[in-house]
Every structure is written in C-alpha cells, then in structure tokens.
Structure 1
Amino acid sequence: FVSKEEIGNWPIIGWLCRLNDTVFVSRSDRMGIAQQINQLRDALEETWAITIFPEGTTTDGSTLLPFKAPLLKVLEPPPPGILVQPIFLNYGKNAYEIGWTGEETAKSNAWRLLTRPGSFLVEVHFLEPFDPDHYSCRKDIAAEARRLIAEPLSASLGGKPIV
C-alpha cells in the first residue's frame, strides 16, 4: 500500500502498515516526489504490486473525486508486464455510517467503528485491468482508471450520476 506518512506514526496501525511494507509518502513534500517515485519503483521491483488510493482522501461514496496523478509517475514508462487494476469498495446502505469523511480524526473514526454493534458488508469490485503502456502520460492513466470506476460505481448507487 501507499499511505500518507502520518499513518506510519499511529499506534498499532503504523506498526501493521510497516509489517505490510507500506510505502509512506509526504503530501507536503513536493520537492521529495522524485524520491517517493523511486520508493514506488523499488516496491514494484520487489513485489510487483502496489496499491494507491488516487482520490487522496475518503469521500461519502456519492462522489468520485478527481484522481491525483503524481504518484503514477512510477508508470512513466510502465515496467514491462505491469497492469493497472481499478478497484472500488461499496459499503452499501452503511456507507455514511462507516465512511471516514470530513474533519473526523483517526482516533474518533476507529472508536466509532470498533464500538459499532453488529457487522457490515463491504463489496470489493475488481474491474478489468488495463495496460498503462497504451496511455501517453500518468494523467491519462489516472483519467482512465477513474472512468472505469465511475460507471459501475454509479450503477451500484442505483444509477446516481458520479460527478
């Protein structure tokens, strides 16, 4: 996974992330993006799988924010054999209750979820992978991933248009 660097300092979660070889990136260090891209290249060489959350945040599920493309620089040019696998999560009727949006802190979100009675269903939708080599730049790759997610996400929301 790729995660913001602050998560690496969180109790328990940061430790679990490090066990999973999470690549931590700094959202504020624009000058360090080249080093972060190199970290991602190393991760691809070692595991051939990285997970990026391209919206850069969590939404309430009714919108799909523009995808941020800087970290997709790792795909310019794409390593041989690499495919992009778009995925989206659907929490169904519980999305507003479960989603971490707005100014909620990590601590209050964790507490809210861990003290919530019962369980909830999460659908993980693995969409058709595509070859990033067919796109001219990282922005086009991000736009294609977003396009591929928008239609089935809209359908899962009962046809509500995704902006």
Structure 2
Amino acid sequence: MTHVLPAARPNALAWPLIGFRLLLMAIMLAVCTPLHFLWRALGLGRWWPRVFLSSIGLVAGLHLRVKGTPAKGALLLANHVSWLDIPALSQVTGSAFVAHDGLAAFPLLKWLCEMNETVFIARHDRKSIAAQVQQVRTAMDQRGSLTLFPEGTTSDGTGLLPFKSALLSALHPLPPGAVVQPVLLDYEEAPGIAWVGDEHGLDNFKRILGRLRPLRLTLHFLDPLQGADLADRKSVSAAARARIAAEMSR
C-alpha cells in the first residue's frame, strides 16, 4: 500500500475555525464530565462519554452513514485510519476501546480514555499478557461493545495493513454469547485526513479541525464471524481482514 503525503498545515484563515471548534469541544467536556461522574455514582451506565465523543465528531464536521447492522455487545474488529474512528464508532455503537498503553503517558488523553473505560494493552510486555487478556474478557462481559483495531496503527485508508492476532487470544474460548463483527471504516477522502507517516498527532488534529468541507464516513458493519472463522485467533484475524478487504474493494 502506498502512503500519501499529508495535506498542508492549516493556513491563517483556518485558525478562527480551529479556535471555534476547540471552544465547542471544551464546553462539551465541561458539561459532560460532571454528568458522567454523577451517572457513574448512581450506577446508570456509561452514557455521557458516548455523548461527548459523538459531539467531538459532530464539531469536527463528521458526517456518518451506516450500512449493515451493529451487533449488540460485539467485539468489533475495524480498520484504523484516523482519531475520528473513535467518535464515529462510539456514536453508532457506544463502544469502549482497546488502546496501546502509550496513550496512558499523556494525562489528559488517559483521563478521557478512562472515562470511556478504555482497556490499555502493553503490546511489548509479554509478562503481563495473561492479565491483559483477562482485562479484555472482563470488558466484553461487562461493557457491551468493545472495539479493537487489529492493524495496530493507522493506515491511509486505501488498503489494509496486516492484522496482528496476538491480542485476539482473549477471545478463546469465547465468552458466552460473544459476537465478533468486522467493520470497514470508509472515508470519502481518506488519504487527505489519515494520520500516517511522520505527521505529529497534534498537527493532524489541527489540520482536520481547520477543514471547511465535511468529513464523510460510511461505516460498514459486516456479518459476524461464524463457524471455522472462530476456530482460533489467527482464523479470526484472517477472516476479519479478508471480509473488510473484500468490502473495501467493491
């Protein structure tokens, strides 16, 4: 797959729009945070992180279209193009996420992720694999939908990177009633918004917030895996990637 160079950084005319959008995001954070803690204290579930993430996508200009039916309580295996993937999937499914532990090094990001009950995984710490597997299984049992990006990083959206199957060991044996569903995130202008190459995350964030054009994304919820596709983690990984690739090529 060929990675395209990211678009130019925002020009001077884009800064007022970036500032306005950041202000709206800050207001939504200030509104949703105390309501989240109140809801959690009352045992009313993880509603406000979904509202906040949905609002982030809306403020950023994200326009969603959904094809297929999201399975309730599923483990979603999706391709990964942008940080916008997270507000999009959260808006449609209310999903929590599996993320690498590098994000935990940034206090604000860690705090935001923890409000949405993110499962942090140390990919290179083999000693903690058993504990990490249990975290994922507990999340599937207690939190409803959980999303994992098997590519392990973002692509330019025009193709797929290899899927890494190591964390899928948490699926075997499957928790009772668990469903594994592949999802294709299909951006209309994927190469222009993808976070790839040497672009700093903050630069990508500002570049997207400085856009006037809407960000159109179609989420394709494909048929859940069944039968031999669920035989082991490598089968799950290969089957999910094959289905997403087939849908991408249509």
Q: Secondary structure at the match of 2:190?
A: helix
Q: Which amino acid in 2 is paired with 1:142?
A: S
For 2:166 and 2:235, locate their aligned partners in 1 and report how far apart those are by CA, in whole Å: 12
Aligned residues: 154
Partner of 1:64: 160
For 1:5 and 1:119, locate their aligned partners in 2 and report how far apart those are by CA, in whole Å: 31
Deviations 1:45-99 (A, max 9, x none): 212321100011111122211211111111111112111111011112x111110
Partner of 1:158: none
CA contact (8 A) 1:87 1:149 kept: yes
Partner of 2:218: 123
CA contact (8 A) 1:77 1:133 kept: no
Instruction: Report which of the two has the higher share of strand.
Output: 2
* RMSD of aligned Cα (Å): 1.7
Using the size of structure 2 for normalisation, the TM-score is 0.58
Runs of at least 4 residues of structure 1 off by over 6 A?
none
For 1:133 and 1:15, locate their aligned partners in 2 and report how far apart those are by CA, in whole Å: 39
Partner of 1:103: 198
Deviation at 1:133, TM superposition (A): 7.2
> Which stretches in structure 2 are left out of the alignment for 5+ residues?
1-96
Using the size of structure 1 for normalisation, the TM-score is 0.86
Partner of 2:99: 3
Q: Higher Cα Rg: structure 1 or 2?
A: 2
CA contact (8 A) 1:132 1:141 kept: no
- Percent of aligned pairs with the same residue? 43
For 1:8 and 1:119, locate their aligned partners in 2 and report how far apart those are by CA, in whole Å: 30
CA contact (8 A) 1:76 1:137 kept: yes
The yes-or-no answer on 1:27 pairing with 2:123 is: yes
For 1:127 and 1:112, locate their aligned partners in 2 and report how far apart those are by CA, in whole Å: 31
> Cα–Cα, structure 1 residues 122 and 12, in superposed 2: closer, same or farther, change >3 Å?
farther
Q: Which amino acid in 2 is paired with 1:130?
A: L
CA contact (8 A) 1:83 1:132 kept: no
> Which stretches in structure 1 are left out of the alignment for 5+ residues?
156-163
